[in-house]
Amino acid sequence: MSSASPSSYESSSPLESHLLTAYRTDVRDVYPEIVPAPADRDWMERTGSGGGGWANRCLPLRIANQHGWFILNDADFEVVWGGKNDIGNLRISYANSAPTLAESMFGYGILTFVLPYVFRTPPGFNLLARGPANLWKDGAAPLEGIIETDWLPYSFTMNWALTRRLKRVEFKKGEPICMIVPVRRYEVERFSPEIRGIEANADLKAGYSAWHNARLKAVERAGTVHGHEVVKQQGHYIRGEDHGGARAASHQVKLQVKKFEDLDPLPPPSLASAAAPGLRPGLLKRLFGRRGS
């Protein structure tokens, strides 16, 4: 195995421009927004002494936070699962009696969001649909799926599993219900994983030892192993350098994820219905399953 310092790593190829298109499918007045995922999280802002936001110093967290697009919920509602497996055992209550996305379709305490889009990715790219990175809900866990959106001619659903019987779970308007991330098909299968002793890579061992010794000294000085003391030692990573000062040739401290550009503004509802009489509100819901709210 060859060894390399950060400064000798090959740069990644120049950024390619890939087209990601969301095609509106159902006829409705308002569609759920799709926005670049932000770097900030409220819980990260509240961490540290006095809410100083020390978690924001963790660059891997912030990069993961931004790594895709959020699809936002379009209405306030609460959902309760009775603990049984049938479809009707999931009860959805909308605050403003305006149900649009959320449904009970599969039973087993699974809440389904029917997304009124067909996505298209470049050839060879899938779309990972997952929960919002580094966010969570008490009583509900997002389910992940990978979809071959370079050929699929229909939409997909985003699902959350209710995990606690009779727990009222709230979904607010504007909060993310899905995070979409393009992933190249077959990429993970190209890797040949192996486990080695760190002695097999002299440069890597030297770098690790320098980092490890510095971490031990910092903890000894602080007299604690609290998380915020550990995070303070991540300055080298944030700068993209090892403890010897060698810089990585390719390093990211933030992402510049582009916004979706709306090229076809919505027509008035009456014109939309006349132009596409076969696409009635709720058609996708009837295609996917029955309503359980």
pLDDT in tens, 9-28: 334 455 667 999 999 997 77
Q: How far apart are CA 82 and CA 293, in angstroms?
A: 12
Same domain (yes/no): 136, 274? yes
Burial state string for 32-54 with b = 16 or more CB within 10 A and e = fewer than 16 = bebebbebebeebeebbeeeeeb
In a domain, 158, yes or no: yes
Same domain (yes/no): 126, 233? no
**Which residues are 94's β-sheet partners?**
77
In a domain, 87, yes or no: yes
Smallest CA-to-CA distance from 64 within 154, 133, 163, 162 is with 133
Same domain (yes/no): 178, 235? no
Task: Of 54-68, 211-225, 254-268, give the range with the top mean pLDDT.
Answer: 54-68
CATH code: domain of residue 156: 2.70.40
Write out the DSSP string of 65-133. HHSSEEEEP-S-EEEEE-S-SSGGGEEEEETTS---SEE--S-TTEEEEE--EEEE--TTEEEEEEPPT
Cα 234–256–13 angle (5° rounding)?
Answer: 85
Contacts of 4 (CB under 8 A, 6+ apart): 203
Q: What is the pLDDT of residues 153-193, one digit of tens each?
A: 999 999 999 999 999 999 999 999 999 999 999 999 999 99
Same domain (yes/no): 169, 222? no
Q: What is the pLDDT of residues 115-135, one digit of tens each?
A: 999 999 999 999 999 999 999
In a domain, 12, yes or no: no
- Domain containing 137 equals 17-32+73-189+262-288
In a domain, 81, yes or no: yes
Same domain (yes/no): 226, 87? no
In a domain, 56, yes or no: no
Same domain (yes/no): 211, 152? no
Number of domains in the chain: 2
Q: What is the pLDDT of residues 70-103, one digit of tens each?
A: 999 999 999 999 999 999 999 999 887 666 799 9
Same domain (yes/no): 181, 266? yes
Q: How far apart are CA 283 and CA 75, in angstroms?
A: 19
Instruction: Give CA separation, 40 vs 142, 170, 182, in Å.
Output: 20, 21, 21
In a domain, 123, yes or no: yes
Decide: helix, strand or coil at residue 201: coil
Query: How long a stretch of residues is the chain?
Result: 293
Residue scoring higher pLDDT (218 or 206): 206
The pLDDT, as a whole number, for residue 95 is 85
Same domain (yes/no): 134, 27? yes
In a domain, 165, yes or no: yes
Q: How far apart are CA 154 and CA 117, in angstroms?
A: 8
Residue scoring higher pLDDT (11 or 261): 261
Q: How far apart are CA 178 and CA 198, in angstroms?
A: 39
Instruction: Give CA separation, 174 vs 124, 145, 202, 225, 290, in Å.
Output: 32, 22, 50, 37, 25
Backbone angles phi, psi at 102, to 5 degrees: -80, 135
Q: Is 293:101 a contact under the CB 8 Å cutoff?
A: no
Q: How far apart are CA 60 and CA 44, in angstroms?
A: 13
| Mean of pLDDT over the chain | 84
Same domain (yes/no): 185, 204? no
In a domain, 152, yes or no: yes
Smallest CA-to-CA distance from 74 within 34, 104, 15 is with 34
Same domain (yes/no): 24, 98? yes
Q: How far apart are CA 101 and CA 258, in angstroms?
A: 25
Quick one: average pLDDT of 242-249? 80
Decide: helix, strand or coil at residue 234: helix
Quick one: average pLDDT of 28-36? 90
Same domain (yes/no): 22, 153? yes
Same domain (yes/no): 177, 224? no
Q: Does residue 233 surpass a pLDDT of 60? A: no
Amino acid 289 reads: G
**Could you tell me the pTM of the whole model?**
0.83
